Structure 1
Amino acid sequence: MYVSLADKLTDNGSSTPAGLVAASLAHAFALFVAVSVGANISGGHVNPAVTFGAFVGGHISLVRSFLYWIAQLLGSVVACLLLKLSTGGLVRLEENKRQFKPKN
């Protein structure tokens, strides 16, 4: 979440090839940390698609997959609220320019 925020607040930081590689590596490392932290709790399920795959593969039950989905969706809502709180509700004004203003 904060990697994306830092990327959005930099002036065209990820529009260069080096910036794109840096942003993708930062997202990959953040996902690695999230999976590592959650591995002992939920088996590293960090999104509903992974949970669905584990259910289809027979590794978890339907009840457990529903519980994981609820937790994952609630976690994403909390993350969005934290992002909105930490940025003060900034929104993009124009498609091609990186200008922000507080949301009314």
Structure 2
Amino acid sequence: MCILQARRNSQSEAFAIQAIRNAKGNSFCVDCDAPNPTWASLNLGALICIECSGIHRNLGTHLSRVRSLDLDDWPCELTLVLMAIGNEMANSIWESRTKGHHKPCPDATR
């Protein structure tokens, strides 16, 4: 791959990551509402904070595959999933029937 093509790919990936960050609801962790999440749960199609990413990793990849927005590569297919779902839609599904239970806050213990 030539240098120009690598730079173009890098710029388009950075643009896609910024679009994911700017999507409605994605400025806060889908699990605990911590600001500026930098990780994603690919299975949920939502952004999570670093603390919640550790919890998701411990769940196992059959439940939640996590990837860093800053450290990992983001193929087009994954960025499309994150932009199509996002935190607002994920929470509208997963939190629709919590029966009075509240999700943890950013300073909750593990």
Report if TM-score (shorter chain) is over 0.5. no
- TM tier relative to shorter chain: 0.3 to 0.5
Higher helix share: 1
Which protein, 1 or 2, shows the higher relative CO under an 8 Å CA cutoff with sep ≥ 6? 2
Structure ID, larger Rg = 1
The alignment's TM-score, normalised by the length of structure 1, stands at 0.33
